[in-house]
Structure 1
Amino acid sequence: MQDRAGVAVLVCDPDGPPIATERDALDLVGAAFLGATVVAVPATRLDPSFFTLGTRFAGEVMQKFVNYRLRLAIVGDISTYLERSGALRALVAESNRHDQVWFVPDLAALDDRLRATT
């Protein structure tokens, strides 16, 4: 757990296990209950199916965080996936307009978003 811009954030280790199932997402939700309001997940930990919207995995993961009233930040370069999918570009743009799920390039950008919302 880290204090980032005055917000308790569970910053997941980039070398941790992959997030490939709904159960993996729920494990992160459970870990956040130790006091975090935001979970920052390195994009590299997400199974590639997350970025293929037809699998519905991204929606399932994002919905888990919404249901438990936790913010989710996907941190890292996802440009390769964005180049291949207009639907993913639209999802990222729409998510970043709101306050529940963010796609940010790095933790500094997450800090900027957090400062803007507090």
Structure 2
Amino acid sequence: MSDQIQERAGVQVLVCDPAGPTVATEQDALDLIGAAFAGAQVVAVPASRLDERFFSLGTRFAGEVMQKFVNYRLRLAVVGDISTHLSESSALRALVHESNKAGHIWFVPDLDALDDRLRAAS
């Protein structure tokens, strides 16, 4: 499977292939944003595709990536199990908690949970 736009809970979502390239730079994030401009409102990126620096907040990489999505008015959903990262960082736990309360950036365990969030948001 390659990255593809799917309708999920009535919303166009760019669902990224877990086997796709790692998001390791701001340009990688911009490439996903560009792909979403084909009609998606949300980009669902598997947590496994995010460079490890994303989960180490001291690198500021997560903030840079998330800000790009906010600037382009696209929602970002990080999909997958990040429990190991959460257990290692109280700052990351706080970021995930606050992000999940808002509407732009979500951390969800799977695509079914994303569908639930999308339904609740509409």
The answer, yes or no, to whether TM exceeds 0.5 is yes
Unmatched segments (≥5 aa) in structure 2: none
Cα distance, 1:29 vs. partner? 0.3
Q: What's the Cα RMSD here?
A: 0.2
Identity %: 76
**Residue 36 of structure 1: SS of its match in structure 2?**
coil
- Residue by residue over 1:56-102, the C-alpha shift from the partner in whole angstroms, topping out at 9 and shown as x without a partner, is 00000000000000000000000000000000000000000000000
1:68 maps to what in 2?
Answer: 72
How many angstroms apart in 1 are the aligned matches of 2:97 and 2:18? Answer: 24
Task: Work out which of the residue numbers 73, 78, 83 in structure 1 matches 2:87.
Answer: 83
How many angstroms apart in 1 are the aligned matches of 2:85 and 2:91? Answer: 10
1:26 maps to what in 2?
Answer: 30
**Residue 13 of structure 2: SS of its match in structure 1?**
strand
Unmatched segments (≥5 aa) in structure 1: none
- In the alignment of these two chains, the number of paired residues is 118
Normalising by structure 2, we get a TM-score of 0.96
The structure 1 segments of at least 4 consecutive aligned residues displaced by more than 4 Å after TM superposition are none
**Residue 77 of structure 2: SS of its match in structure 1?**
strand
Letter in 2 for 1:38: V
